[in-house]
Amino acid sequence: MASETVSELKRLKMSDIARLCGVSTSTVSRALAGSPLIQEATREMIIQIADANGYVINPLARGLRLQRTNTIGVVFPLGAITAQLISDPFFQQMLGHMVDEISLRGYQILVSKVTPPKPGWLRELIKAHRTDGMVVIGQSDQHAALNDAGQVYLPLVVWGAHLPDQQYCVVGLDNVAGGRMATEHLIAIGRRRIAFLGDPSPPEIEQRRRGYLAACKAAGLDVTDRLIVPAGFSPQQAEAAAERLLAESPDVDAVFAASDVIALSALHVLRRAGKRVPEDVAVIGFDDSAVAAHSNPPLTTVRQDLAQAARLMVDQLFQRLDGQPTDGVTLAPELVIRQSTVRS
Amino acid sequence: MASETVSELKRLKMSDIARLCGVSTSTVSRALAGSPLIQEATREMIIQIADANGYVINPLARGLRLQRTNTIGVVFPLGAITAQLISDPFFQQMLGHMVDEISLRGYQILVSKVTPPKPGWLRELIKAHRTDGMVVIGQSDQHAALNDAGQVYLPLVVWGAHLPDQQYCVVGLDNVAGGRMATEHLIAIGRRRIAFLGDPSPPEIEQRRRGYLAACKAAGLDVTDRLIVPAGFSPQQAEAAAERLLAESPDVDAVFAASDVIALSALHVLRRAGKRVPEDVAVIGFDDSAVAAHSNPPLTTVRQDLAQAARLMVDQLFQRLDGQPTDGVTLAPELVIRQSTVRS
DNA sequence: TCGCCCCCTGCAAACGATTGTCATTCCGTT
DNA sequence: AACGGAATGACAATCGTTTGCAGGGGGCGA
């Protein structure tokens, strides 16, 4: 079309098209929406003229009128305590999958990073009405805010841990089972002094630690506090934590890290301290992120299938958009054994 | 506040607040916007009542009126040819950094995945007016569309390769230099039969290949076509390509992969074929993504600093939002030597 | 030729904010 | 006491769609 010239970016509204077609605005609106009220011939003529002129409906005006935006919000609450960045591979992957799943359904994605959240943050986000529904990635320390909103706002799905007094829809791994599974594996290969590396303020991590404690107790291992070291999610924080662990408990023979990134940092610190992995110290991670399979040695880890998780979350969200409540899903963790753990 | 009760999610508009305050809507609007026309006392009263009632301005209505949305679009055009997914670590990281940088400036992020693009896609995206500006990640095969839009739409910044007839602002690595640098390193450690693995349809990759060819030519190596194998960006495609390479050129002694993911796949295939890396075959990647440092052996690679890249892009975009054209930036690649390449 | 129905199409009122223009009030001054 | 002027707040138009309602015109039967 000759119409696609350089000057063609001027704002063109529906009434302009109407004038061009010699009909009223409402007819154009109906024609573009495919309403049966409009004669087929008229419709074709209008559509033809509309896109010859490169007309695009203004979604803001449309959204204002319809109270519907065709947009899903993906929200990352980064708690005050945890310094988890969106640059953590877990979040990156989750975001990537969310984009894939949501755009597959023809919706747009509005990403919000809330850090650190103020009391009313979630309600404010909801009341802004910029999105038709919302996915929250990770509970961080915002369980109360989620409960508060979840009771009154249906189209909300949260990735995270299942908590007892929960009023919102959660899709998440059985983190207790994951923690137990990892620890039992370490015990099974003969390790006795097993450390836990991770910051337990997000409930997911807290539950992994609970699983760890349960497995230790079941095996009759006594877990001194020195073996449980809070570790942030960044490589720097994780390395510091691993060094503290080594200093306080030089005889440790296994490390269960709350994430693969932490595990890799531990690997690094251990090697630097002259420990062999897995001979002297076995290491197990969590997530099965891309790094785990290719590390040296390849990292045993607890896998969470984020592609599937994202699909489930978006499925449930769309059910909720249709007005049907959903119950959330608990996913089963899967132990992926690689070379960072072997029998001692 | 007693106001934060369960039933409080009902739509509350500015006129409601006005009624509650006993003033007109315009006064509320001005008060909330901090206009000097409103008396301080009135303003405080209004603000107090507004957030006691949990009032939140409707951004759609506001955007419609102001023709400004406080939102930046982040667009991923996935070309017809390349099957690059948003789940590639490069895209994921870039998206993560974009979210960080943009939300730092108080803007929202609208993510669009365009795949495979229809002719008018970029203009349509622009004309929708949902965003105040746009960042396009990767040119894919959409140079023409970008040129078309870039001439008339100022607030647009593209990540990618610098091309001769370019009408839009590009921030990107000097990919030719990167390719040359990688290849020269392989030559310097004594390799002679150097393969290139990568799909040259995105211009970035094409330029890396150009650098590779230039370096080979300068060193007097003859590059048979058999050594240049198109490889998709997914691990599966990359493995297939690596296998093809090995089948056709069993005597290859170095591989330059267009991305770290491809390099890791090559590593895998080589190992399976009984080749030692780096003794028999040296391998070099591109990106320095998280996997590179931790692989076995750790991967020599050409680093692009995505955090800096994201910052620069967003900086330039905001200058453009202020009406000032910008020239784009060419970033210098950096060779990161690890154990996957050593002197033969 | 008239009248009746049915398709179509157009009018106008929302959706929820912002802002130029103008009326009112209140003060001080002469 | 009357007037000028600053300060304050209300009115109404506007951003670009959608949609309930009503009206116009054409076809068909009588």
Q: What confidence tens digit (pLDDT) does each residue in B191-244 have?
A: 999 999 999 889 999 999 999 999 999 999 988 888 999 998 888 899 999 999
Q: Which residue on chain A is closest to B87 by alpha carbon?
A: A96
How many structural domains comprise chain A? 3
**B155 neighbourhood in chain A, CB within 8 Å:** none
A144 near B CB under 8 A = no
Residue A4 forms part of a structural domain: no
For residue A4, pLDDT over 50 is answered with no
Query: What's the CATH number where A136 sits?
Result: 3.40.50.2300
Assess whether B33 (CB) lies less than 7 A from strand C: yes
Cβ A21 to strand C below 7 Å: no
Report yes or no on A65 lying in a domain: no
Q: What is the DSSP letter of A118?
A: P
Nearest by CB: A64 against B61, B93, B97 = B61
pLDDT at B1: 37
B252 shares its domain with B183: yes
Question: Which of B6, B60, B307 shows the shortest C-beta gap to A130?
Answer: B60
| Stretch among A87-96, A264-273, B45-54, B294-303 having the lowest mean pLDDT | A87-96
B210 and B298 fall within a common domain: yes
Same domain, A197 and A235: yes
* Residue A308 forms contact with B (CB below 8 Å): no
Residue A210 lies in a domain: yes
User: Is B144 an interface residue toward A (CB < 8 Å)?
Assistant: no
8 Å CB contact between B241 and B199 = no
Q: What is the pTM of this model?
A: 0.92
Give the Cα separation of A244 and A273 in Å (integer).
12
Mean pLDDT of A70-78: 95
Q: Is the CB of B66 under 7 A from strand C?
A: yes
* Residue A67 structure tokens: 């109270």
What's the confidence (pLDDT) of residue A130?
96
**Which bases along strand D come within 7 Å of a protein CB atom?**
7-12, 14-20
* Same domain? A209 vs A319: no
B19 close contact with A: CB closer than 8 A: no
Residue A130 belongs to a domain: yes
Q: Which residue of A has its CA nearest to B295?
A: A295
Cβ-based contacts (< 7 Å) between A 66-125 and strand D:
66
Report the pLDDT averaged over residues A283-294.
Answer: 93
Taking 60 as the threshold, does the pLDDT of residue B23 lie above it?
yes
Percent of chain B with pLDDT over 90: 77
Q: Structural domain of residue A262, as residue ranges?
A: 175-303
Q: What is the pLDDT of residue A343?
A: 87
Q: pLDDT tens digits for A146-156? A: 999 999 999 99
The pLDDT of residue A86 is 62
Residue A288: band (very low, low, confident or very high) from pLDDT cuts 50, 70, 90: very high
Q: Is residue B134 in some structural domain?
A: yes
Please judge whether A86 and B63 are an interchain contact, meaning their C-beta atoms are less than 8 angstroms apart.
no
Mean pLDDT along residues B43-63: 93
Spacing of A131 CA from D16 C1' in Å: 19
Q: How far is B56 from chain A (nearest CA, A)?
A: 6
- Closest residue by C-alpha to C1' distance, nucleotide D12: B26
* Adjacent-strand bridge partners of B284: B256, B300
User: Is the pLDDT at B2 greater than 50, yes or no?
Assistant: no
User: Is B342 among the domain residues?
Assistant: no
The interface residues of chain A toward chain B in range 57-76, judged by CB-CB distance below 8 A, are: 57-61, 63-64, 69, 71, 76
- Average pLDDT over every residue of A40-69: 93
Mean pLDDT of A178-196: 97
Q: Same structural domain for residues B292 and B318?
A: no
- A190, part of any domain: yes
Res A187: pLDDT: 97
Tell me, what's the pLDDT at B78? 85
Question: What pLDDT was estimated at residue A172?
Answer: 97
A32 CB closer than 7 A to any strand C atom: no
Q: Are B293 and B319 part of one and the same domain?
A: no
**Residue A34 CA, nucleotide D18 C1', distance (Å):** 13
pLDDT digits (tens, 9 = 90+) for B257-268: 999 999 999 999
B180 lies in the same domain as B255 = yes
Cα A212 to chain centroid distance, Å, stands at 23
Question: Which residues in chain B have Cβ-Cβ distances shorter than 8 Å to A93?
Answer: 87, 92
CB A3 within 7 Å, strand C:
no
- Inter-chain CB proximity A92 and B87 less than 8 Å: no
pLDDT-derived band at A5 (thresholds 50, 70, 90) equals: very low
| Phi, psi torsion values for A314, nearest 5 degrees | -70, -40
Burial letters for B78-103: b for 16+ Cβ neighbours within 10 Å, e otherwise? bbeebebbbbbbbbbbbbbbbbbbbb
pLDDT of residue A89: 86
Residue B129 in this model has a pLDDT that exceeds 70: yes
Average pLDDT, chain A: 92
Q: Are residues B123 and B100 in the same domain?
A: yes
- Bridge partners of residue A256, in order along the sequence: A196, A284
A10 touches chain B (CB under 8 A): no
* Domain co-membership, B246 together with B289: yes
CB pairs under 8 A between A and B: 172
Per-residue model confidence (pLDDT) at position A78: 85
Looking at residue B109, its pLDDT comes to 97
CA of residue A27 to C1' of nucleotide C9, angstroms: 7
- Residue B103 sits in the same domain as residue B39: no
Cα angle B183, B328, A113 (rounded to 5 degrees) comes to 95
Looking at chain B, list the stretches that DSSP marks H as alpha helix, in order from N- to C-terminal side: 14-21, 25-32, 40-52, 59-66, 89-104, 121-127, 143-150, 175-188, 203-218, 235-248, 260-272, 290-294, 306-321
Q: Residue A293 is inside which H or E element, if any?
A: helix A290-294
Residue with tokens 């050593």: B342
Question: Does residue B327 sit in the same domain as residue B263?
Answer: no
Contacts of B71 in chain A (CB under 8 A): 110
Q: Is the pLDDT score of A18 beyond 50? A: yes
Q: What does the alpha-carbon distance between residue A129 and residue B59 come to, in Å, rounded to a whole number?
A: 8
Percent of chain A residues topping a pLDDT of 70: 95
Q: At A3, is the pLDDT very low, low, confident or very high (cuts 50, 70, 90)? A: very low
Does B226 lie in the same domain as B117?
A: no
Tell me if A205 is assigned to some domain.
yes
Q: Where are the beta strands (DSSP E) in chain A?
A: 71-77, 108-114, 133-137, 156-159, 169-173, 194-197, 228-229, 254-257, 282-287, 300-303, 329-331, 334-336
- What single DSSP character describes residue A259? S
- Give tens-digit pLDDT for A85-142: 666 789 999 999 999 999 999 999 999 999 877 888 999 999 999 999 999 999 988 9
- The protein residue nearest D18 (Cα–C1') is A65
The model's pLDDT over A304-333, given as tens digits with 9 standing for 90+, comes to 999 999 999 999 999 999 999 999 999 999
